[in-house]
């Protein structure tokens, strides 16, 4: 593999200047049944708690959106307020299906970029990838429970492209004892290598405070140069 120097220009964004997209896993491994389950309720409550805490911490200055994903990813809302997003999350329907991380990240990035207003200061963009597994959807959209490294490498490439725009990706990996391969994959997706992992659905509430503190702290955001570059992977 080769690395690309994107010549990003760092600037600082602080508390309140955040634009957060939640990418929420609704794949079969979450419930193993139709119609939802306690695990799904835990995920919904976790998502609601995050934006509620963020809203309180930033005095209502943040922007939020959500994407639910399984075999495909669907944007549940464009960028909006905590008050508007909360009932959408509360009534979010469980779907089951495969695990499509690249579609989830791409749709979140679309939400985040659509919220940019040229005449206003840019908010720090963050994707929270809330998931309990590794990808099982290939780059061509076909599914394979054992697609392994090709699937992981494709999503890593997508994540690196998103990171290069200045968007930060923070994985929340709901698996109590991930394998080395799984942990490495998640750290590759993460903008700074940090992953919230070794979690169960029941322990998600314990992570909210630290997660919010990490999001609203002053952080360096890198911006690409004015010239446009496109890259493709084979």
Q: What is the pTM of this model?
A: 0.84
Give strand pairing partners of 128: 22, 170
Pick from 82, 84, 21: which is nearest to 54 by CA?
82
User: What's the mean pLDDT when you consider all of the chain?
Assistant: 85
- Most distant CA pair in the chain, distance: 48
**Percentage of the chain modeled with pLDDT above 90:** 60
**pLDDT score, position 225:** 46
Average pLDDT over residues 201-213: 89
Q: Taking phi first (over 0 means left), then psi (-120 to 50 degrees means alpha), and beta for anything else, what does residue 60 get?
A: left
- Bridge-based pairing of strands 73-80 and 63-69 is antiparallel
Q: Compare 175 and 14 and report the one with higher pLDDT.
A: 175
Per-residue model confidence (pLDDT) at position 120: 64
Q: How many whole angstroms separate alpha carbon 203 and alpha carbon 85?
A: 23
Res. 140 pLDDT band, cuts 50 70 90: confident
CB-based burial of residue 177 (10 Å sphere; 0-12 exposed, 13-18 middle, 19+ buried)?
A: exposed
Backbone phi and psi for residue 232, each to the nearest 5 degrees, phi listed first: -135, 150
| Four-residue CA torsion sign, 39, 67, 170, 51 | negative
CA angle 143, 103, 83 (to 5 degrees): 130
Is residue 7 pLDDT above 80, yes or no?
no
pLDDT at 231: 41
Nearest to 151, CA basis, from 163, 160, 142: 142
């Amino acid at each position: 593999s080769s690395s690309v120097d994107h010549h990003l220009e760092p600037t600082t964004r602080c508390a309140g200047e955040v634009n957060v997209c939640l990418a929420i896993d609704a794949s079969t491994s979450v419930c193993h049944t139709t119609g939802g389950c306690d695990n799904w309720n835990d995920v919904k409550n976790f998502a609601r708690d995050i934006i509620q805490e963020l809203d309180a911490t930033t005095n209502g200055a943040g922007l939020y959106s959500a994407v639910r994903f399984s075999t495909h990813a669907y944007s549940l809302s464009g960028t909006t307020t905590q008050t508007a997003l909360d009932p959408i999350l509360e009534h979010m329907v469980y779907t089951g299906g495969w695990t499509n991380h690249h579609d989830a990240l791409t749709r979140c990035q679309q939400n985040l970029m659509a919220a940019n207003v040229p005449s206003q200061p840019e908010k720090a963009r963050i994707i929270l990838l809330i998931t309990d597994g590794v990808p099982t959807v290939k780059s061509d959209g076909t599914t394979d429970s054992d697609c392994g490294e090709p699937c992981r490498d494709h999503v890593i490439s997508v994540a690196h492209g998103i990171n290069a725009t200045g968007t930060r990706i923070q994985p929340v990996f709901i698996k109590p004892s991930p394998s080395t391969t799984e942990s490495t994959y998640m750290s590759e997706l993460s903008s700074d290598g940090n992953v919230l992992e070794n979690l169960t659905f029941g322990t998600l509430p314990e992570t909210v405070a630290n997660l919010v503190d990490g999001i609203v702290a002053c952080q360096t955001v890198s911006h690409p140069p004015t010239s446009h570059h496109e890259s493709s992977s084979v």
